[in-house]
Amino acid sequence: MEGAIAGIVRLLGTSLKNRGLYPPSHPLVRNPVEKCHAELLPFLAERPELALTISDGTLVLEGVPLFHLTSSLELFMARLGAIGVPAVIFERGVAVGDVENFVRFLHETKEQGLPVAEIKGRLSRAGVRHIRVTSTEEEDDFSIAREIYGNAIEVVVQALTDVRKGRTPNGVDSDRAVRDMNGMLSRNRDAMLALTLIKNFDEYTYNHSVNVSILSLAVAGSLSLPEQEQVNIGVAGLLHDVGKTQLALDLIRKPGTLTVEEFEEIKKHPEEGYVILGKMTHIQERTRYMVREHHMRFDHTGYPRPEPEYSVNPHSQVIAVADCYDALTTMRSYQKARTPQQALEIMRKLAGKSLDPDLVLLLEQSLGVYPIGTMVRMSTMEVAVVTGSPEEGKSHPRVAIVFDRAGNPLPSPEAVELSETNPSTGKPRRVILGTVNPLMYPAISMTGVFTLAST
């Protein structure tokens, strides 16, 4: 066991050492990479990830210290230390290309003492998807999810900027961002979904695009679709409004009611998006059609109006459902934000008309009876925020108290366990009585609530 683990790192060191002597395609560089990948797979079949750290000048892989260092291992450890990499995580799903690009990153990076955030960004741009770096202090899932969310925002910003400047966006970046979000949904669904409830009014376009992608991926996961099809749907959600870059900014940002002529201009954006995606690399044809069709509506009364014989991609409605939910739960200059439950109630009325009723139900099931972000009143008269869906075998969600029974805000959110019983009665100490209107209470930091929930 220890010998096999040590062998994995030695292969990385050998490839890195030979990378300084030979071109990337040379067998002495390529073969160790392929063998390293092959030896990683059995370990990752039994666990979701493997951790490599540097502790007191010693390389440690999954708790096994490597004391007998070859020259290649010494070079490998020296490069990690010089760049500023304290820990490396190999995730299930790692590909040969991930290992190859990671070695290339170590070889080509000349700067020393880089911040971990900068290293993560460079690895992402280098195409490394399933090898991540982190600080030696274990990151909580919410922090990781927030970083993935932030990276997706940057991808959307860059894509829209490129289009407005007449450049073609790089589809690889969108694909990578969606795969990262989908992976995080598999690892910690609540941490990823929680971020869709933290709204940024000034950055609505970018946040909305990422939120629609996350919600679309959640529904796609409930459909048990193949991973590639889930990614296709997620990319469509991420880029569903890219066609709006072809419209005047004043029209997009207009706070009041649109005129008939203005709405006719707005209705062009799905077709414009379809054309833009056709110029991008790494974009599947079915993703293009989802972007074109996300406003066609379930009863075909939307736009662009399909011909009677036109066959709509059934997954286009996944984008429509996610788009509707995020729009309803976001405050805009022309509308107040609905609570998650209010939004779902409106969507139930639209089911069978503009929205696919089966997908509305799937979204509702994905979010739970009390969706993450819902403010609820407890039987103790305290007010809490739902921070997570029920754990396996339990019927109640996870919550954090934010206001005491007198309505005073707590200094910091307090996570409580709803299965806790009152010793004197044997009954639950707290139960949810129902939802409350968040507008009746002062603003709270949702970031702080969800950070607490993930610890």
Q: How many whole angstroms separate alpha carbon 334 and alpha carbon 11?
A: 59
Q: Is the domain of 336 the same as that of 420? A: no
Q: In which element (H, E) is residue 157 found?
A: helix 141-164
Listed residue (200, 164, 333) closest to 258, CA to CA? 333
Q: How many whole angstroms separate alpha carbon 419 and alpha carbon 272?
A: 52
pTM over cut 0.85: no
**Contact criterion met (CB below 8 Å) for 382 and 401:** yes
| CA dist list (Å): 176 to 171, 181, 271 | 9, 9, 24
Q: How many whole angstroms separate alpha carbon 158 and alpha carbon 173?
A: 10
Round the average pLDDT of the chain to a whole number and report it.
Answer: 86
Q: Is the domain of 162 the same as that of 104? A: no
Q: How many whole angstroms separate alpha carbon 291 and alpha carbon 238?
A: 10
**Contact criterion met (CB below 8 Å) for 315 and 233:** yes
Label residues 117-149 b or e (16+ Cβ within 10 Å = b).
Answer: eebbbbbbebbbbbbbbbeeeebbbbbbbbbbb
Q: Out of 110, 138, 166, pick the residue that ends a domain.
A: 138
Q: Is the domain of 353 the same as that of 213? A: yes
Q: Is the domain of 134 the same as that of 146? A: no
- Residues 6 or more apart whose Cβ sits within 8 Å of residue 315: 220, 229, 232, 233, 236, 286, 290
Both structure tokens of 408: 């005073």
pLDDT of residue 62: 67
Residue-wise pLDDT tens digits, 227-248: 999 999 999 999 999 999 998 8
Residue-wise pLDDT tens digits, 380-434: 999 998 888 887 667 788 898 999 998 888 888 888 888 888 888 888 889 898 8
Q: Predicted confidence band at 138 (pLDDT cuts at 50, 70, 90)?
A: very low
**Contact criterion met (CB below 8 Å) for 356 and 336:** no
pLDDT of residue 127: 87
Average pLDDT over residues 104-125: 87
pLDDT of residue 455: 52
Residue-wise pLDDT tens digits, 254-308: 877 888 999 999 999 999 999 999 999 999 999 999 999 999 999 999 999 988 8
Boundaries of domain holding 445: 375-453
Q: Out of 78, 110, 138, pick the residue that ends a domain.
A: 138
Would the pLDDT of 185 be above 60? Answer: yes
- With tokens 């990076």, the residue in question is 109
**Contact criterion met (CB below 8 Å) for 15 and 32:** yes
Q: Predicted confidence band at 316 (pLDDT cuts at 50, 70, 90)?
A: very high
Would the pLDDT of 34 be above 50? Answer: yes
Q: Is the domain of 264 the same as that of 354? A: yes
CATH code of 254's domain: 1.10.3210.10
**Contact criterion met (CB below 8 Å) for 398 and 391:** yes
Residue 21's φ and ψ, nearest 5 degrees, are: -115, -25
Share of the chain above pLDDT 70, in %: 90
Residue predicted with more confidence, 2 or 153 = 153
Average pLDDT over residues 120-139: 78
Would the pLDDT of 92 be above 90? Answer: no
Give DSSP secondary structure letters for 415-434. Answer: EE-TT-B-TTT-SBS--EEE
Ranges 166-180, 216-230, 250-264: which has the least confidence: 250-264
Q: Is the domain of 260 the same as that of 328? A: yes
Would the pLDDT of 364 be above 70? Answer: yes
Would the pLDDT of 197 be above 60? Answer: yes
Q: Is the domain of 382 the same as that of 285? A: no
**Contact criterion met (CB below 8 Å) for 158 and 123:** no
pLDDT of residue 452: 56
**Number of C-beta neighbours around residue 307 at 10 A:** 8
Q: Is the domain of 395 the same as that of 437? A: yes
Ranges 73-87, 115-129, 382-396, 403-417: which has the least confidence: 382-396
Q: Out of 76, 109, 138, pick the residue that ends a domain.
A: 138
Residue-wise pLDDT tens digits, 50-61: 888 876 667 777
Q: Is the domain of 296 the same as that of 419? A: no
The tally of domains found in the chain comes to 3
